[in-house]
Every structure is written in structure tokens, then in C-alpha cells.
Amino acid sequence: MHRVLGDRRAIMILLGPALLVYTLIMLVPTVWSLGYSFTKGNSIDGFTGNGLANFTRLFSDQAVHDALWFTVKYAVLVTVGQVIAGYLLALLYVFFLKKASALIRTLVFFPVVLPTVAVGLLFQKFFQVAPQTGPVNSLLNSFGLESIDFFGSAGSAFWVLVSMDIWRSMGFYAVLLFAGLVDIPDEVLESARLDGASGLRLIRHIVLPLSLPVLMSSLIFSINGTLKVFDSVVALTNGGPGTGTTPLTLYMFQTSFTYSEYGYGSTIALLLTVVCLLVSLAVYRVSRRDITEG
């Protein structure tokens, strides 16, 4: 019966091209990049073996420590912010706006598809002090407060970055979590209401536990994306002031293409990959335990 569907030649024709392109563009370079970690040089000057020098440098490089810390700090804050903001929006959609939520849902989702570069430049101008006082500082001024040079210090630039990325993606998590909330059967909510649960108690004891699985998958998805943050930083601050807002991805990019150190760049890329894998694994294990126990 399955003879036609097991036709080897047809399988090769259908799968072959995709597998070939995928192997050449993704798999081979990944392994190749591992090899680069043990060399120094670049594609123009050629490569020479370098042993473990890149790795010892990686561990003692203050810039790597700073970039890694920045990446983790950013990823944790934005992930938590995105998912909480998204969850609050989803609750608003489901329990308060109900049928009327479609328009708001669509509107709040829109920034998700906007080019990050455009959003970055927009926020840069929105928060600027000079040459023109931007809307945020104008608002501060109208309350009698002094303008803040948001991009003058790493601390305030970081907060603009975090708010920008939460602004950009909360609509996405809202729709994702909305789908999870809509899946909660009406009977469950109804019977909980009859038992006297309402408002916050209903949300805390019934809705929250039931939406835990979709919250967890949002967290995993979000942390995976935020650890790889690049576009937002490049467009908003380009890592500055100084190297105050430089994540690993940008440090890797600068090392490789500004300073043409491909070997060391590959080592940083490897660190990034390992961090992503470890974090996903950790979140995955924690979420598994939570779901089975809860």
C-alpha cells in the first residue's frame, strides 16, 4: 500500500534540495565556525592555528564579561516584561473587552511587524534632547522637570531599550496568551464563579494555573529571542555610550567585522550559542517540573 509513498527517488527529489541548502548554509558553517574558534586571522589575510588562545582570552576579557552581563540582564528583564505585559493585555482582552477586543488586539500587534531599524530610529528621536527636544522630554518639561539625556548614560539608554522592546512585542505575547486564555473552558470559569471566586481571586487560583503551559512556552520563546538581541541595540544606541549597551551579539559582530578577528569572533559566537542552549534547557526543565507538579 505504501509503495508509492516510499518511492526513494521521489523522496530525494522533494527533500534533496532543501536538505542540501540547509546543510550548506546552516550545518556546515556551524561546524566550520567551531573550527575557526581555534584559529586567528580572517578570510582576506588567511587563518593560522591558535590553539586554545581564544578561549583563555574569552574568559579573561572584561568586554566579554560586560557584554554577557548586559545580555543576561536585558534578556531577563525584557522576557519578564514582555510576558507580563502580554498577559495583562490578554486578560484585558478576554475578561474586560470581550468581543470588542479584536480591533485593539490587531492594533497592539502592529509594532511586531514593524522593521526594528525603523522603530529604533523612531525611539531615538522620541527620547532625544538635541537637536530638538523630543516628545518624552517635552512632556517632562511641561511638568516642570528637566530634560533627561537618555542616551548619555548606559543606565538610562538601557531602560529606553527595554521599554522599546516591550512596546514592540507585547502585542505578540498578548495574542499568544490570548489564545491560551480562550482555550480555558467556560464551564470551569462558570463553576468557579458560582463557588464565589471573582476578580483577582478567579485569575489567581483558576486562570493563572490553567494558562501556565502557554505562559511557559512564551517564556521559552521570549528568552530565546532576547538573548540574541541585535537589531534593536544597533538601531537605538549602536552599543553606546561607549560600550555601555553592547550585548554579546554586537560585540561578536564588531570583533569580527570592525577588527577582522574572525577566530575570536567565532569563539564569542560559540559562547552565545552555548548560553542560548543552556538557558533553553534550564527553562525547559523548570517548566516541565512546574507543569507536572502544579
Partner 1 sequence: MAIETALKPASPGHRRTRHQNRNSVRKAGGRLWIKIAVTFLLVIEVYPLIWMFLTSLKSNSDYLNNSTWSLPTTWEWGNYTEAWTTGNIGLYVQNSLLAVVPALALILLLGTAAGFALQIMVWKGRSLTLLVFLAGMMVPPQMILLPLFTVYFQAGLSGTLWPLILTYTGTGLPLTVFMMATYYRTVPRELFEAATLDGAGILRAFWTISVPMVRNALLTVGLVQFFFIWNDLLIALTFTNSQDLRTIQVGLLNFTGDFGATQYGPLFAAICINVFGTLVIYLFLNQKVMKGLTSGAVKG
Q: Does 291 participate in binding partner 1 (rule CB under 8 A)?
A: no
Q: Least Å distance between CB 156 and partner 1?
A: 18
Query: Which residues within the stretch 156-195 sit at the binding site for partner 1 (CB under 8 A)?
Result: 167, 171-172, 175-176, 179
| Angle between helical axes of 116-126 and 154-182 (0-180°, round to 10) | 130
Q: Least Å distance between CB 10 and partner 1?
A: 5
Query: Which residues within the stretch 207-266 sit at the binding site for partner 1 (CB under 8 A)?
Result: 214, 217-218, 221, 224, 227-228, 230-231, 234-235, 249, 252-253, 256-257, 262, 265-266
Please state, in angstroms and rounded to a whole number, the distance separating the CA atoms of residues 237 and 154: 9
Query: Which residues within the stretch 12-71 sit at the binding site for partner 1 (CB under 8 A)?
Result: 13-15, 17-19, 21-22, 24-30, 32-33, 36, 43-44
Q: Which CB, 5 or 185, lies closer to partner 1?
A: 5
Among 51, 115, 152, 294, binds partner 1 (CB under 8 A): 115
Q: Least Å distance between CB 293 and partner 1?
A: 23
**Region at 82 (left for phi over 0; alpha for psi -120 to 50; beta for the rest):** alpha
Q: Which CB, 30 or 153, lies closer to partner 1?
A: 30
Do the beta carbons of residue 215 and residue 287 sit within 8 Å? no
Q: How many CB atoms lie within 10 A of CB 212?
A: 15
Q: Cell digits for 27? A: 550545518
